[in-house]
Structure 1
């Protein structure tokens, strides 16, 4: 088993080179600090405790301060154990590219969005009654079961919905960006924005796929600019200016002699 802690940022979409649109969730995975390594001989089970994102020292009590001081680490805001994870030394840093590669399937665990108090139709997907005026039953809970003056356990009734630990299984890792400490996971994951989540190896053992070839927005195509030859210079003909005054024709005098 392997895993890492991260923070949900937002959802977006990317394109592959073959033109497919893939909806993804962006998870910020800062370097995790190994705060404790639990062994079978000492603790009874194998696990690795990870912590991520620093917080102020005045927000930590004395027992927690001593725990972080042993690992020579600043106090962490989100601390969780990954069961059966081994191979990492106490006090070291763990990054996303050391754990996962593109094409792997993961299980993502987080706290789902809280939806407040909801009725049985919204909370448990019950069907409603007829909405006509003559009907005496519209959006009620329904039968409470046998009449023994109590409600049986696990009866589906109205109540608080959401804000519970939820795991979405078999999500594909599209990209692991170690330079920007980001992971792109196909599909949606539990929780609102800025919610901490655990990204772990899938328990159903699905084999990794071939990494998708993504279309990069930063790729630039350099085209050769055609060389345009300069047009030959054609000299304009010289046009003499002519006056607008019309020349009157010259009338020659007659030289014919008149006979006497």
Structure 2
């Protein structure tokens, strides 16, 4: 039941899954971790603890190897959830293949209108690059989404972090023209939140009236504020968001039980 004073008509519920890093080979592991099993365990938690879901957002690095089999394994996993899923690519993904698979099914959309909100899905991936960048096509998509949003509140989704996260090794691996994106959003009052993945850790900051959110991976976690690549012992997780009709946001991160799905100690080569 919703809390007193809140009805289902007041808001929509969004679940973010990110950085699942699936493989074509079911036996493959990422830093010793079974990414398919951890994704399924996260989905089990969503099903057990989220009584209502209106949309599922998958914010990149769906696969580790860009394989069609990996994407189909992801699709089969999220079909367990009772809401439509929409995805965007990350640096490990094949964006062309994701669009080919996703356009006919609704997985790939430029934006989604749900309740009083518009969710804009931007592609920050660059073929052959770990870092992200928005080309003119993505800025045009953003401009089109904002100019046609009407009275809707807006959430912008991408894979790469557009701000510094205080981690030296990840500093050059974010959105290379993040400041241009943020400058564009500074002038768009209807944009309330920017949501991303990529950093395999939790973040919740503000830039003026703009909420900046990042979410743990459904598999391996990265240590915060690290100079060099380092994993963490925190468990995989996901983010829930309540997007209210008046533009307010409630959100939180839920993780699996402590000690679940740890990478091999000292594993590297990500």
TM over 0.5: no
Judging by fraction of residues, say which structure has more strand: 1
Q: Determine which structure has more spread, i.e. the larger CA radius of gyration.
A: 1
TM-score (norm 1): 0.19
TM-score (norm 2): 0.18
Judging by fraction of residues, say which structure has more helix: 2
